[in-house]
Amino acid sequence: MKLEELANQSSEWMRGQGPESDIVMSSRIRLARNLSEFPFIRKCTPKDRVAIATSVHRALDSLPLSADTEYVDVAKLGDLDRQFLMERQLISHELSESQGARAVILDPHERFSIMVNEEDHLRLQVMQSGLDLEAAWQRMDQLDNQLESKLTYSFNKRLGYLTACPTNVGTGLRVSVMLHLPALVATKQIDKVFRALNKINVAVRGLFGEGSQFMGDFYQISNQTTLGKNELALVAKVREVVPRLIDYERKAREFLVNESRQDLHDNVSRALGILCTAKKISSEETMHYLSKVRMGVNLGLISDVKIPTVNKLFIHTQPAHLQKLCGHKLSVTDRNIERANYLQLHLAKRPENEIN
């Protein structure tokens, strides 16, 4: 599997399928694990990091995860390839920017990835399109059990799984759901929602996880701590919150339609028009207008654009993806021009030029 092949396919978390997929982009389960015979990453020597990567690689080779699963040496990747994997949410910023031996194991369908030598020795993550935390957890549980049959994890009978960050001690589990909430943003209710989530220990992050900006009205919500609760309780906690957020967003969309359907229709149509006619456009502008178009499609205000097309354009117009699709590096100015051309190719001549 080459990274160029990934560039031409749709990410699992952007397929636009699954329950509540008009608002919930994806469900994600992440586990932090460490090997008992090595110190935490911050204390590891370069030799330790190599040994950890070797141990994980050997264990994976003996497991029937997938005949096409690929072990990628992140240390050997260039800046563009690392950014590309971050844009697809297959690796974190920390793994991309750290030094020494590190890797990622990729499922060709992007249903899971395993980061080696990130903040912890192992970061397992499973992605599922739409609101489907139960299916994501079942896949993660199976994956974790397979790895634990070959590797010895750091574990304490009283505390649970030991992790580099104290907030992950216990299960090492992070449950997250990515939502598209343009109506809550438009009606200026999003800050009130954030404050309510913080009171119940639910974290809110941007599109690309911890430390990232809020872009395109995408928000990731997740549990803040894991200690003292089992895995199913953590999944249930996030699963309980999400329907309320979906309800808030639906009511906000209904308000926008009832308040002034004509103005809303004009707003989303103008956004589509800009995307179809701009001669150059930045990534941030593209996300902003695609967000409006996506809401317009879901509300039936735009009929000749499909949600999978919009979802894919969110990713394909990111800087590294554009350059991968072009086959060479581009300056910022050239990227803005190429992005406009790419949007016109896939939107201006719809529906015959829809992305597959």
Helix, strand, coil percentages (3-state) for the chain, rounded to 5, are 50, 15, 35
For the chain, the maximum distance between any two Cα atoms, rounded to a whole number of angstroms, is: 64
Q: What is the 3-state secondary structure (H, E, C) of 187-238?
A: CCCHHHHHHHHHHCCEEEEECCECCCCCCCCEEEEEECCCCCCCHHHHHHHH
What is the rounded distance in angstroms from the CA atom of residue 208 to the CA atom of residue 215?
9
CB of 299 closer than 8 Å to CB of 182: no
Q: Quick one: which of 302, 298, 300, 299 has its CA closest to 272?
A: 302
Which of the four pLDDT bands, split at 50, 70 and 90, describes residue 103? Answer: very high
Which residues neighbour 294 within 8 Å (Cβ) at sequence distance 6 or greater?
180, 182, 307, 310, 311
Each residue of 138-180: pLDDT tens digit? 999 999 999 999 999 999 999 999 999 888 889 999 999 999 9
CB of 129 closer than 8 Å to CB of 26: yes
State the amino acid at position 112 in one-letter form. F
Write out the two tokens for 5.
């092949």
Residue 228 has what pLDDT? Answer: 75
What is the rounded distance in angstroms from the CA atom of residue 176 to the CA atom of residue 219?
10
pTM of the model: 0.88
The string of DSSP letters for 65-84 reads: S-TT-EEEEGGGS-HHHHHH
Order of strands across the sheet with 103-106?
Answer: 70-73, 103-106, 112-116, 122-129, 24-33, 173-180, 218-223, 202-205
Main-chain dihedrals φ then ψ at residue 105, nearest 5 degrees? -100, 125
Burial label, 185 (beta-carbon count in 10 A; 0-12, 13-18, 19+): buried
What is the rounded distance in angstroms from the CA atom of residue 107 to the CA atom of residue 69?
5
Residue 354 has what pLDDT? Answer: 43
Greater confidence, 15 or 38?
A: 38
pLDDT at 209 over 60: no
Each residue of 252-291: pLDDT tens digit? 999 999 998 999 999 999 999 999 999 999 999 999 999 9
Percent of the chain with pLDDT over 90: 68
List strand residue ranges (DSSP E) for the chain, in order: 24-33, 70-73, 103-106, 112-116, 122-129, 155-156, 160-161, 173-180, 202-205, 218-223
Mean pLDDT for 2-29 is 82
